[in-house]
Amino acid sequence: MAELDRLALTPISLRPSSERANIPIARQTTKPPPSAKLAAFYTQLADLLRAGVPLLRSLRVLGGAALRSPLQTHLVALAEAVQDGKDLATAMADRGGVFPAAHIAMVRAGEKGGFLESGLARLGKLVELQAAMRAKVIGSLIYPCVIGIFGSVLVLAMALLYIPQFRSVFEGIDLPWITRVLFAFSDVLRHLWLGVMVAIIAGGIGGWYLMRDPRFRGFMGRVPLRIPVVRSILRLLAVGRFSRVLGTLLG
């Protein structure tokens, strides 16, 4: 009540805090939230601060608006940390990798320099552009993936159903090596399909475990850099991403 009186606010309704226990809270996770959610959070927080709403109240408002969102738990934690006296950048850093280091640096610069509103607005625009680019790339890959899946199903159907029917026609004929490979592929799928399925599942599990190893991920990350055309594309993308982030930080 003293805090409300200090802010010249008059409560119009009161309820016991125990009732808030029934409000559904999103499951806490250290996985970074989607870029689109982060962009919306930064932009909305900048708008609230620019409108004169205090930081703590802004975080609580956004935390309540993000009901059942992956970001809700983190916004509630940010509000509690700010209430305990921490600055926003430190509270974001304490969330264990939820917020990228570049975002934390921009927020810290805005707090120290007194331009947190504009810094958050720039950050929201940056993350929004990155999310739009990522969505554009994923959208461009959908069609090739569908074609690849359809082609794989078609090849399997031919190897299991059609090729065995023509096998007897070519008995006793000296066939090209590519035809012999095709017949062998069909035989393997027909007679050893269980072993093939086990090998695929084992390979997927093994690849998942290997990708958890930083050294293996580093090795796989360097492989595309040795392909001439792919190397040029990846370098251009890296330079573009670096320049955009650096420009935003300097701005």
Q: Answer yes or no: is pLDDT of 28 > 70.
A: no
**pLDDT of 146:** 94
**Contact status, residue 101 vs residue 89, Cβ threshold 8 Å:** no
Q: Is residue 113 classed exposed, middle or buried when 0-12, 13-18 and 19+ CB atoms within 10 A define those classes?
A: exposed
Q: Answer yes or no: is pLDDT of 21 > 60.
A: no
User: What percentage of the chain has pLDDT greater than the value 70?
Assistant: 92
**Span 29-52, mean pLDDT?**
84
Name the nearest CA neighbour of 35 among 96, 90, 99, 88. Answer: 99
**pLDDT of 115:** 86
**pLDDT of 176:** 84
pTM of the model: 0.61
**pLDDT of 164:** 82
**pLDDT of 43:** 92
Q: How many CB atoms lie within 10 A of CB 163?
A: 18
What sign for the dihedral angle of Cα 12, 13, 14, 17?
negative
**pLDDT of 67:** 62
Looking at residue 216, its amino acid is F
Show Cβ contacts of residue 34 under 8 Å, excluding neighbours closer than 6 positions: 70, 131
